[in-house]
Amino acid sequence: MANPIRVLLQTTIPFAEDNWHIGRFSLLRDELASLKGDDGNTLYEVTTRNRESDADGNDPVLSTLDTSDFDELWLFAIDQGDGLSVTDCQGITRFRQRGGGIMATRDHEDLGISLCTLGGIGLAHFFHSQHAEPDSARHVPDDPYTTSISWPNYHSGANGDYQTVIADPAHELMRSPESPNGVIEFFPAHPHEGAVGVPEGERTASVVATGQSKVTGREFNLVVAFESSIDDHGNQLGRGIADSSFHHFVDYNWDTGMGCPSFLAEPPGDGYKRNPRALEDIKTYVGNAARWLADQDHLR
């Protein structure tokens, strides 16, 4: 029997009850923990934690992630710039250099901007005050309703609704045997998603899923996939995913009855309540991502 893949789900913020702490990703955790192989054995051992800081301001797990027994890091960047120390980034970088898989996601404007200090997969995320989208024509608000949030803030719909995805049918991340056309069709919607894209000069990454603003009709990237590659130092890098919004994974966007922080002002939608089967697509994506990031043939 193969050992389960060890997955760390971690936020870049310390616990605060009225925020997007890791406890608000319980449905994601449960979904991953429920997945089993053809032999009936559990595929993933899931650990969840919020950011903690030691006396030097480093997270004791992230800063030494390369020496851990984790196989994957799913990083939910929810900070305003102080979510990752330099030492944390070094630990995460060494983790990928030893073959660890990374999924990194954030949200609108500058939320999760500590990813800018990460490099690699972090450079696939574009923000407002630094490392903006290369196309300056996109440096304008897309969501006109929540005026306190500026670009990037692509409006794919209300929390609790789902958006239509244009997926790369050739990529493993986006395949769905249950879908009529063989690919994932729906993602959870969010009023103001962040921006992702292939970093300049990056030859191993590609956009594998896009969405479309319900306000402007503008297309925007949802998922960038990084293939495993050998870096300049001869390290076999693990695979990576840059995802435009952690709202694709949080409890509230799968089931609005799970509640949300008090600062979320937008009224929720009821798309998933009316069509629960649409929720299966994001669960398929989660399973695809966990398997793909592990890059282990015995899990296929």
List, as one string, the DSSP characters of 32-71: HHH-B-TTS-B-EEEEEE-----TTS--TTGGGGGGSS-S
pLDDT the model gives residue 296: 56
Give me the CATH number covering residue 264: 3.40.50
Nearest alpha carbon to residue 225 among 248, 245, 202:
202
Number of domains forming the structure of the chain:
1
pLDDT the model gives residue 252: 98
pLDDT the model gives residue 232: 86
Chunk the chain into consecutive blocks of 10 residues (it has 300) and report each block's average pLDDT, rounded to whole numbers. Answer: 90 98 98 95 97 97 98 98 96 97 98 94 97 98 97 98 95 93 96 97 96 98 96 93 98 98 96 96 98 68
pLDDT the model gives residue 2: 78
pLDDT the model gives residue 160: 98
pLDDT the model gives residue 24: 98
d(CA 79, CA 66): 23
Token pair in block for residue 282: 């994001």
Strands 219-226 and 240-243: antiparallel
Which structural domain range is residue 240 located in? 5-299
pLDDT the model gives residue 109: 98
